[in-house]
Copies of this chain bind each other. A is one copy, B any other.
């Protein structure tokens, strides 16, 4: 056991504790999905999580991954991130942060901004309903796409 738990096991504990607290069964499959999420720093789609978990649990089904991710998202343990092209993606990072999204390839990068976080929620927004969170999305072209790479 390391003197300090590493970042990954911190995240894993947060996820598994959340499942226990929700009173759902902590199955082998759900545990491995959590382990996968705890070990990534990007915004994986279902397919990516499925591939990662299947390396350790070869018999897991795609549907189970869909359900595990939906459960974690519904419990607020991971975030959903709106996809501009194709598949739904998830965000294991629940600390307040914002996104840079490439309009061409869909690459998504995290960044933080105290300046943004200090802005009060506009009054207009409260009129629409109960505000849960405010997030900035910056659209642009990532470095790879900026230079004519066809990949």
- Chain A positions within 8 Å of B, measured between CB atoms, are 80-84, 88, 98, 100, 102-103, 109, 111-113, 115-116, 119-122, 124-125, 128-143, 145-146
Q: How far is the CA of A70 from the CA of B80 in the complex (A)?
A: 24
Secondary structure call for the A interface = strand
Q: How far is the CA of A48 from the CA of B10 in the complex (A)?
A: 44
Q: How far is the CA of A23 from the CA of B67 in the complex (A)?
A: 47
Greatest chain B CB density within 10 A among A98, A113, A136, A139 is at A136
Greatest chain B CB density within 10 A among A84, A115, A138 is at A138
CB contact between A131 and one of B112, B116, B131, B140 (< 8 Å): that residue = B140
